[in-house]
Amino acid sequence: MSGTVRLDGRSLTIEALEQIALRRCKVELAPEAVTRVEKAHLVLHELAAKGIPIYGFNRGVGINKDREISSDFFENYNRNLIYSHSAGIEPAATEEQVRAVLAARLNTLLLGATGVHPQVVNMYRDFLNTGIHPVLPLRGSVGAADITVLSHIGLAMIGEGDVIYKGATVPASDALRRAGLAPLKLGPKDGLAIVSSNALSAGIGALVLGEAARLLETADIVFALSLEAIRGCISPLDEAAYRLRPYEGAAESAAFVRSLLAGGDLPELDTSSKIQDPLSFRSACHVHGAARDSLAYARKLLLVQLNSSDDNPCLLADEQRIVPSSNFDVTAWTLAFEMLGIALSHVSKISCYRAIKLGTPQFTGLPRFLSPDPASAIAYGTIQKTFTSLDAEIRHLSNPVSADYFSLSGDMEDHANNTPLVVRKTAEIIDRLYYILSMEAMHAAQAIDLREAIRLGQGTREAYAAIRSVVPALSQDRFLTPDIQAVYKLLASSELLKRTKGGMAANE
């Protein structure tokens, strides 16, 4: 654990959230944000004292919005709300995912739009800083606020349920005692503030978008290595072409690939007689760029989510008003994730086609399936089944699910998005795509070995060396599962990306 991230409700970035979740940075609360929370709490109670019906405060929730909650029942009601909403099922989130969820909700609470008691806000901070991570089921939310899952955080805050603390799963009451924290005594609307947000989807979604960015840079690196391997045409990378058709993602991808190839002999080759390569090579930067553009769109909308209130009702403390709303609706950025999943399926498909082309003599001039000895070695023939089967899984996962929902709670809740499922399947696409890119990278490195005497670019040289540091050249047939796993680990850990970009920076 190192460093501290200041949260103010308005400026949380995906990178800062990753620092909290992945590197276990502590958090501190901006003083002005704490003041907003304190003011909002006072305003909420002033409004309730005037007899104004307030959802989740002096009235029930869901279809029970017509039921009055008396002041002598506030604590029991909020406790019962936590109990009744704790209905998530396995698998459980990782500790990193839990931290992302806690950070996402804490930041939105700091806007002062809930009226929650300041002690609740402090408990989110204390959970992050002491490393108390509630056991958080990932399934059960339909994506109209993650109420059935986030309630498990509420359980831990009142000293019930289980948490992960110092590497072990223990009762929440034990962890609170050992960390020197007292269980929360819930006041009016505290329970609703804890359970009713989209922090599960948003927090984990932020981690997915961070990983997607690294994946797409990795895809560019693997493509560049494959282009070296087939001695491909670089004309599709010409900067002038992207000035005429200025899609930002495609231009960024092409610029990165040009930098990877710089210093090698590929830009010096005369490929005029070849004219052009198959579309899986020629259009790679456009396809990768489309995914980059989709990612940028999803990122833009998710940042709004992370730095705004998704509470119902929405408290406008400065105006002394509380407004029933649908600010918990996340259709906008859920659709962006669906689009990203479809874009990544295109990245997957063309990677598979490049790997197939790398094993085809008419495109490479090398032995079939990149065999080191066609008379005695089969090499990369059967592995095609592996990466195409994963592509089929990705194609299935890329199908939209956000439009598939039920009308619930007495027909009051007749819209939802299945957003946690959308986020999870996007993460699963990314994981499978790392495997597919790994197998393409194995093909590219093998083709480069068979060619010999290639002067690789400054980036592709580093990438090739990284691959060969975990998997030797295929000089005779061997079982390939360990090779696939080794290269997958290299890519999925971002080690290939780090070594490639680090080596390029060192040579500048």
CA–CA gap between residue 33 and residue 123 (Å, rounded): 15
Taking phi over 0 as left and psi of -120 to 50 as alpha, with beta for the rest, 51 belongs to left
For residue 66, what pLDDT band results from cuts at 50, 70 and 90? Answer: low
Instruction: Count Cβ atoms within 10 A of the Cβ of residue 255 and give its class: 0-12 exposed, 13-18 middle, 19 or more buried.
Output: middle
Q: What is the DSSP string of 345-396?
A: HHHHHHHHHHHHHHT-HHHHSS-GGG-S-TTT---SSTHHHHHHHHHHHHHH
Neighbours of 135 (CB within 10 A): 21
CA–CA gap between residue 169 and residue 175 (Å, rounded): 9
pLDDT value for 504: 87
Which residue intervals of the chain bear CATH 1.20.200.10?
205-314+323-357+370-507
Q: Is 70 exceeded by the pLDDT of residue 410?
A: yes
pLDDT value for 72: 66
Do residues 102 and 380 lie in contact, with contact meaning Cβ atoms separated by under 8 Å? no
CA–CA gap between residue 324 and residue 49 (Å, rounded): 18
Cis peptide before 313 (omega within 30 of 0): yes
CA–CA gap between residue 146 and residue 100 (Å, rounded): 14
pLDDT value for 391: 97
Q: Per-residue pLDDT tens for 72-82?
A: 657 777 888 88
pLDDT value for 56: 66
Residue type, 159: G
Which residue intervals of the chain bear CATH 1.10.275.10?
4-197
pTM score of the predicted model? 0.94
For residue 473, what pLDDT band results from cuts at 50, 70 and 90? Answer: very high
Angle at 330 between CA 325 and CA 334, to 5 degrees: 170
Out of 76-85, 92-101, 215-224, 446-455, which region has the weakest mean confidence (pLDDT)?
76-85
205-314+323-357+370-507 has which CATH code?
1.20.200.10
pLDDT value for 48: 79
3 vs 205, which has greater pLDDT? 205
pLDDT value for 1: 45
Q: Per-residue pLDDT tens for 126-142?
A: 999 999 999 999 998 88
Q: Per-residue pLDDT tens for 85-105?
A: 888 999 999 999 999 999 999
Q: Is 90 exceeded by the pLDDT of residue 149?
A: yes
Angle at 335 between CA 246 and CA 251, to 5 degrees: 15
4-197 has which CATH code?
1.10.275.10
pLDDT value for 471: 97
